[in-house]
């Protein structure tokens, strides 16, 4: 009798665990992927599992992390921003363009002191984000199409500013934050950590953060509750653009130059970091914590592949497959959620 009761209790616990694991699959899968990749590369290459290499990984994902903060807000609202890389690029070019320098001999520029150059660059990326916001909320253009157009607009502005040249000088504070370090820790890693922490605090502990989740979770219910949905959507588009701009400025200092198409790869990397980490493409689920896990997955993957003897062209395929797996999990988790709600 006792054994049957024990078996029954165990069965009930098992049935209780299974739904929990299914509901948390979006969060568990990225973490397990990170553990697996870390263990695999640690065994495959002795040089991978070192503190110096951990520092390399953190530095490599810093610019992506800064850009991904704003993108997390957008995706939580069930929207998308395809202009993040172009806005990062144009902002990085703009801060060099507006900086007082003699190296811009072949490019007509407007020389300004460092602080003014930074302010002008921030205003530029905020303005581009505002255009995205107005197109989405006032005109009613879907975010995919609106930001696709903005991607081209920002790329065109970049081309006009540099005209095929390369700029090397940016304000001193940007140079320090992008390529300097303090106590052996790169400033760009510190800035990325601060922005990720700030994004997490906003989403978790502020009214605006709750509104973001409400809009992404059920937009119609948010409207019925009296929430200004258009204002929230517009705000996240501007936040995304400003985060991209900050990442672009620091990225230019980190790379050592400002040039056209420098940030093209950051579009896929930033989207992948958010989605691979487990934030739902359908909105309302996920957050900065998921984005951090996604950043580490991409960072470990990219860095680890450089430590093993593998065809460089195969790396692109592997990254694509991991992104595809994340998308499949994302969609499957949404279906389970909808099924549970029926």
Residue 105 has what pLDDT? Answer: 42
Distances (CA, A) of 41 to 8, 53, 239, 325: 42, 12, 36, 20
Alpha carbon 174 to its chain centroid, in Å, reads: 20
Go through the domains of the chain in sequence order and give each one's CATH number: 27-336 (1.10.3470)
Q: What is the DSSP string of 138-193?
A: II---HHHHHHHHHHHHHHHHHHHHTT--B----HHHHHHHH-EETTEEHHHHHHH
CB-based contact 83:241 (threshold 8 Å) = yes
Residue 103 has what pLDDT? Answer: 45
Residue 242 has what pLDDT? Answer: 97
- Higher model confidence: residue 334 or residue 23? 334
Distances (CA, A) of 275 to 71, 114, 128, 323: 10, 36, 24, 8
Residue 4 DSSP one-character state: H
Please choose, from the candidates 325, 316, 312, the residue with its C-alpha nearest in 3D space to the C-alpha of residue 276.
Answer: 325
- pLDDT digits 0-9 by tens, 231-289: 999 999 999 999 999 999 999 999 988 888 889 889 989 998 998 888 888 888 889 99
Rounded to an integer, the average pLDDT of 127-151 is: 96
Residue 341 has what pLDDT? Answer: 54
- pLDDT digits 0-9 by tens, 273-315: 998 888 888 888 889 999 999 999 999 988 888 888 777 778 7
Q: Model-level pTM greater than 0.75?
A: yes
Rounded to an integer, the average pLDDT of 112-135 is: 91
Residue 204 has what pLDDT? Answer: 95
Tokens coding 6: 């024990």
Give Dmax (Cα) for the chain: 91
The mean pLDDT of the chain is 85
- pLDDT digits 0-9 by tens, 56-95: 999 999 999 999 999 999 999 999 999 999 999 999 999 9
């Amino acid at each position: 009798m006792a054994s049957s009761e024990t078996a029954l209790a165990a069965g009930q616990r098992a049935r209780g665990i299974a739904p929990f694991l299914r509901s948390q699959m979006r969060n568990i899968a990225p973490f397990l992927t990170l553990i697996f990749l870390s263990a695999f590369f640690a065994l495959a290459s002795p040089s991978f599992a070192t503190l110096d290499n951990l520092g390399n990984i953190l530095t490599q994902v810093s610019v992506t992390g800064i850009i991904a903060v704003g993108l997390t807000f957008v995706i939580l609202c069930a929207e998308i921003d395809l202009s993040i890389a172009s806005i990062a690029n144009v902002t990085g070019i703009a801060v060099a363009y507006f900086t007082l320098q003699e190296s811009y001999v072949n490019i007509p520029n407007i020389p300004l002191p460092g602080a003014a150059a930074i302010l002008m660059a921030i205003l530029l990326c905020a303005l581009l984000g505002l255009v995205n916001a107005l197109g989405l909320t006032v005109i009613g253009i879907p975010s995919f199409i609106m930001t696709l157009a903005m991607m081209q607009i920002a790329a065109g502005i970049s081309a006009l500013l540099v005209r095929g040249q390369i700029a090397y000088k940016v304000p001193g504070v940007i140079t320090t934050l992008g390529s300097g370090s303090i106590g052996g820790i790169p400033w760009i890693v510190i800035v990325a950590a601060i922005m990720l922490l700030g994004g997490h605090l906003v989403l978790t502990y502020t009214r605006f953060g709750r509104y973001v989740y409400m809009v992404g979770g059920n937009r119609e219910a948010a409207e019925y509750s009296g929430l200004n949905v258009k204002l929230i959507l517009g705000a996240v588009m501007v936040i995304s653009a400003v985060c991209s701009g900050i990442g672009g400025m620091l990225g230019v200092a980190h790379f050592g130059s400002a040039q056209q198409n420098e940030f093209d790869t950051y579009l896929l990397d930033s989207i992948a970091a958010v989605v691979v980490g487990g934030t739902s493409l359908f909105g309302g689920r996920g957050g900065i914590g998921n984005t951090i896990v996604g950043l580490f997955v991409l960072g470990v993957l990219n860095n680890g592949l450089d430590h093993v003897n593998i065809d460089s062209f195969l790396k692109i395929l592997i990254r694509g497959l991991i992104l595809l797996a994340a998308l499949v999990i994302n969609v499957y988790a949404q279906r389970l959620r909808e099924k549970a709600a029926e």
